Amino acid sequence: MILYDLALGPFAEFGFMRRALVGCLALSLGGGPIGTFLVIRRMSLMGDALSHAVLPGAALGFILGGLSLPAMSLGGAGAGLTVAFLSGLVTRLTPLREDASFAAFYLISLALGVLLVSTHGSNIDLLHLLFGSILAIDDAALVLIGAVASMSLLCLAVIWRPLVVECFDPGFLRVVGDRGGLVHTAFLALVVLNLVAAFQALGTLMAVGLMMLPAAAARFWVRELWSLSAASSALAFISGFLGLLLSYYLDLPSGPSIVLVAGLGYCISVLFGPRDSLRALYLANS
Amino acid sequence: MRGSAGDAVVLDNVTFAYDGHPAVHHLSGAFACGSLTAIVGPNGSGKSTLMKGIVGLLRPAGGLIRSAGRGRGGIAYLPQHGEIERRFPISVIQTVLLGHWRQMGWARGVTRELREEAQRALAAVGLNGFEERPIETLSAGQFQRVLFARLIVQDAELVLLDEPFAAVDERTSEHLLSLIVSWHREGRTVAAVLHDLDQVRAYFPKTLLLAREPVAWGPTREVLMPQNLRRARHLSEAWSGEAEHLGSISTSKPARLTRQSGSLRVNGNEDGPLCREGEERGRSVR
């Protein structure tokens, strides 16, 4: 029973811990499949770029509306979608490759965001924006995260099949006359929305951690697309759960704790996972 | 506009360019309905570019392409080896079922008939019992057979194959070649990019010899005459030499093509399919 108290006690006792846990669950449900698609499309770093691109919009919302959730979320989503759109435009109109144009826009965006916050706010504000605080999630934030997660799952259910085909054989959709580009755009919008939901809790810099690390770890455990998505959601939630406990008992900041636990999960998966891990590849016959 | 009602694809003075450098230029001619054409030429002669242009993946910089494929049945296109993500987590039967895209679209279910048709196609390519195998476990030859099964399921009037036998073992290529010949017998229009001239002479009635410009297009025996092949080689030496020169001599500018947008219309559908609809034909697989 001691373990039970250690593991669940904090959540039973404190409302802010419960809200943080529910927030993690919602983020994991939406982020799992989206992270999986990012990994499979070799867009891992674009998720990172987009998470940084959210900053100036959130900062602008912060300057105009203070620490208000709607203002910062709207601003963040606007900035993220703008960067996604502009990068896509540059990729289509010039020979510059997609990853390079993403990098260019997110660096501009990040610098702009830091500039805005540091000239109009205090360093504490900047830290809050960059690293978030999942323990300060209120009911409004929880509703936003839950809404984004629900919408993401619904949207994914609708575009699942074309999205899969677009990753697997991008030419095919265009040859049979389907609008593959539309699916790509919708997917990028989902990425931005999930990052905006996550940045309340984890901050702009860490938002992508709960999305990518479990998805990258999952491929060392399972094979099919649905099981990859489910496994990354599960790994993300476990990381959130353990990370929150860690931050509670050791008095550590919650965002980095959660992402570090997810990172530990990734390292364990690379070393010992049943599929293609170092153990499976090199120690199988010894 | 050249071409008659009996043509599946008509090319009218078509030019493709990358960065202003011509990849294929001033190509005019037609693939007659029900014809079986080999497209041959030295490396870099624009064979794949032409394929991509006909299926609509590339826009011509000038000229006009009309194809019947955008109508009923569509175009079945086999991209070059390596353009499809072979490590993608998808099963063999799911890959073949993609051939039913026009029936299934984004969300419609897989009916028993569609599934049985896919299974028959798998049997036709000699992959009975491979339904649930993940494609990443297949050899290059087996994967090519899966893609051929998808082509069978697509049941298109116009079939375009980009190097169907590259990276494929000999037994597989013989089997796949027999499928191509059977499609020809069923009255479909088939064009394939190939390298083995003996194979072309033995099985392909028509040949297009391409070296960025058309060298010859017509009955295979006439096209593959020594003087034509010499001319193609000579032309290819000119452009590979040009590539070397470009590095050292900065003053010699390559001829730049200007966009002739006046007559640009890709895969125009306004005139309707060029092949007669509802042609009677025997089908070996369906």
Evaluate if residue B263 carries a pLDDT over 50.
Answer: no
In this prediction, residue A285 has a pLDDT band, given cuts at 50, 70 and 90, of low
Contact criterion met (CB < 8 Å) for B70 and A176: no
From A95, A169, A177, residue closest to B74, measured CB to CB: A177
Q: Which residue has the tokens 């100036």?
A: A56
Chain A residues whose C-beta sits inside 8 Å of any chain B C-beta? 40, 95, 158-159, 161-162, 164-165, 167-169, 171-178, 223-225, 228
Under 8 Å between Cβ of B103 and B115: no
Q: A261-280: per-residue pLDDT in tens?
A: 999 999 999 999 888 888 88
Triad B264, B270, B274: Cα angle to 5°: 100
For chain B, what is the mean pLDDT? 80
Q: Please compute the mean of the pLDDT values over residues B268-282 and round it to a whole number.
A: 43
Continuous segment of H or E residues that includes residue B200: helix B197-203
Range of the domain at B35: 1-74+194-271
At A31 the pLDDT is 93
Give alpha helix (H) positions in A94-138: 98-120, 123-131
At B77 the pLDDT is 92
**Is B94 inside any structural domain?**
no
At B279 the pLDDT is 41
Contact criterion met (CB < 8 Å) for B70 and A177: yes
Give alpha helix (H) positions in chain A: 2-13, 15-40, 44-53, 55-65, 69-93, 98-120, 123-131, 139-168, 170-175, 180-206, 209-218, 225-250, 254-272, 278-282
Q: Please compute the mean of the pLDDT values over residues B15-25 and round it to a whole number.
A: 83
Q: A173-202: per-residue pLDDT in tens?
A: 888 877 767 888 889 899 999 998 888 778
User: Would you give the end-to-end CA distance of chain A in angstroms?
Assistant: 40
**Is B228 inside any structural domain?**
yes
Evaluate if residue B247 carries a pLDDT over 50.
Answer: no
Evaluate if residue A151 carries a pLDDT over 90.
Answer: yes
SS3 A145: helix
Nearest-Cα distance to chain B for A58, in Å, is: 35
At B271 the pLDDT is 41
At A4 the pLDDT is 79
Q: Please compute the mean of the pLDDT values over residues B15-41 and round it to a whole number.
A: 88
SS3 A273: coil
Evaluate if residue A109 carries a pLDDT over 90.
Answer: no
Evaluate if residue B257 carries a pLDDT over 60.
Answer: no
**For chain B, percent of residues with pLDDT exceeding 90:** 38
Nearest-Cα distance to chain A for B190, in Å, is: 16
Q: Determine how many CB atoms are found less than 10 A away from the CB of residue B5.
A: 9
In this prediction, residue B285 has a pLDDT band, given cuts at 50, 70 and 90, of very low
Task: Give the span between the Cα atoms of A65 and A139, in whole angstroms.
Answer: 18
Q: B126-158: per-residue pLDDT in tens?
A: 998 898 899 989 998 899 999 999 999 998 889
Under 8 Å between Cβ of A83 and A143: no
Q: Please compute the mean of the pLDDT values over residues A87-112 and round it to a whole number.
A: 80
> Residue A152 is encoded by which pair of tokens?
């993401």
CATH class of the A2-282 domain in this structure: mainly alpha
**For chain A, percent of residues with pLDDT exceeding 70:** 95
Task: Give the span between the Cα atoms of A269 and B91, in whole angstroms.
Answer: 24
Comparison of pLDDT for B265 and A33, the residue scoring more: A33
**Is B80 inside any structural domain?**
no
Under 8 Å between Cβ of B11 and B30: yes
In this prediction, residue A214 has a pLDDT band, given cuts at 50, 70 and 90, of very high
Amino acid identity for residue B242 in this structure: E
Q: Which residue has the tokens 């599929």?
A: A275
From A161, A224, A225, residue closest to B106, measured CB to CB: A161
Continuous segment of H or E residues that includes residue B67: strand B62-67
Q: Please compute the mean of the pLDDT values over residues A198-220 and round it to a whole number.
A: 86
Residue A174: list chain B partners with CB under 8 A.
Answer: 56-57
Q: b/e per residue, B170-198, with b = 16+ CB within 10 A? A: eebbebbbebbebbbebebbbbbbbeebe
Q: b/e per residue, B210-232, with b = 16+ CB within 10 A? A: bbbebbbbeebeebbeeebbeeb
In this prediction, residue A286 has a pLDDT band, given cuts at 50, 70 and 90, of low
Q: How many CA atoms lie within 13 A of A160 on its CB side?
A: 14
Beta bridge partners, B9, equal B31, B67
**Is B285 inside any structural domain?**
no
At A242 the pLDDT is 94
From A162, A176, A223, residue closest to B102, measured CB to CB: A176
Comparison of pLDDT for B227 and A114, the residue scoring more: B227
Q: Which residue has the tokens 């002669």?
A: B45
Number of domains in chain B: 1
Q: Please compute the mean of the pLDDT values over residues B15-35 and round it to a whole number.
A: 87
Task: Give the span between the Cα atoms of A109 and B8, in whole angstroms.
Answer: 50
For residue B91, what is the DSSP state? B
Task: Give the span between the Cα atoms of B114 and B101, in whole angstroms.
Answer: 10
For chain A, what is the mean pLDDT? 85
Task: Give the span between the Cα atoms of A38 and A208, in whole angstroms.
Answer: 11
> Residue B31 is encoded by which pair of tokens?
């693939």
Contact criterion met (CB < 8 Å) for A168 and B90: yes
**Is B283 inside any structural domain?**
no
Beta bridge partners, A138, equal none
At B107 the pLDDT is 80
User: Would you give the end-to-end CA distance of chain B in angstroms?
Assistant: 36
Residue B100: list chain A partners with CB under 8 A.
Answer: none
At A123 the pLDDT is 67
Q: Report the interhelical angle of A180-206 vs A139-168 (nearest 10°).
A: 140
Evaluate if residue B239 carries a pLDDT over 50.
Answer: yes
Under 8 Å between Cβ of A202 and A127: no
Tell me which of A222-231, B23-32, B98-107 is least confident.
B98-107
**For chain B, percent of residues with pLDDT exceeding 70:** 80
What distance lies between CA B257 and its chain's CA centroid?
Answer: 25
Residue B104: list chain A partners with CB under 8 A.
Answer: 161
In this prediction, residue B180 has a pLDDT band, given cuts at 50, 70 and 90, of very high
Under 8 Å between Cβ of A220 and A274: yes
Q: Which residue has the tokens 């993300």?
A: A236
Q: Please compute the mean of the pLDDT values over residues B215-230 and round it to a whole number.
A: 91
Taken in order A75, A76, A78, A79, is the CA torsion positive or negative? positive
In this prediction, residue B264 has a pLDDT band, given cuts at 50, 70 and 90, of very low
**Is B216 inside any structural domain?**
yes
Q: A53-62, B191-200, B234-243 — which one is most confidently predicted on average? A: B191-200
Nearest-Cα distance to chain A for B170, in Å, is: 25
Evaluate if residue B282 carries a pLDDT over 50.
Answer: no
Evaluate if residue B96 carries a pLDDT over 90.
Answer: yes
- What is the per-residue DSSP string for B220-267? HHHHT-HHHHHHHHHHHHHHHHHHHHHHH-SS-PPPPPPP--TT-EES
Contact criterion met (CB < 8 Å) for A175 and B56: yes
Under 8 Å between Cβ of B102 and B74: yes
Residue B55 belongs to domain with CATH number:
3.40.50.300
Evaluate if residue B281 carries a pLDDT over 60.
Answer: no
Evaluate if residue B265 carries a pLDDT over 50.
Answer: no
